[in-house]
Amino acid sequence: MFDLILVLRLNLKFGLPDYLFIVVDEIVSQMIERLKWMPLLVFNTKLCPHGIEGTFFALLMSIDNAGLMTSSWLGGILLHVLKVNRTEFSNLWLAVLVRNVMRLLPLCFLFLVPKGDQKTFKLPDAVMGEDSENENLINSASSL
């Protein structure tokens, strides 16, 4: 919501000049940008079957890039619909508010995340190679 505070100029009411507020906003945004990948990488290691970690990571990156492109296009359409351009900013606050609310939309899809771990989804031994056969022998021997 920092962008909305800046657009509505509420930062001046708090006594923060624009340049200081923008620097703090950029620092917080960069920190969140870096931290947002941590849960995805942990999710990758916990849920991904052995042997396709690289493919799964590439899939995550592809989905992220597709989301970035789609959000750019939809953001442009939103600005066009709200008639925000280089000279007219009267509805910019509404565009920023819609963007911030839309950032919460993925929470509605959390039920789609499977409940399980990497042992729940197992690839065939032929795909895994010789190492998985050795692991199976070690696991069966240790259970005896």
C-beta separation of 39 from 107 below 8 A: no
Residue 10 included in any domain? no
Is 24 a domain residue?
Answer: no
Q: How many domains does the chain fold into?
A: 1
Average pLDDT of span 43-70: 83
In a domain, 2, yes or no: no
Tell me which residue range forms the domain holding 90: 36-118
Residue 127 within a domain: no
Q: Is residue 29 part of a domain?
A: no
Q: Which residue has the higher pLDDT, 45 or 23?
A: 23
> pLDDT grade, residue 7 (50/70/90)?
confident
Neighbouring CB atoms inside 10 A of 48's CB total: 19
Residue 28 falls inside a structural domain: no
Answer yes or no: are the C-beta atoms of 53 and 123 closer than 8 Å.
no
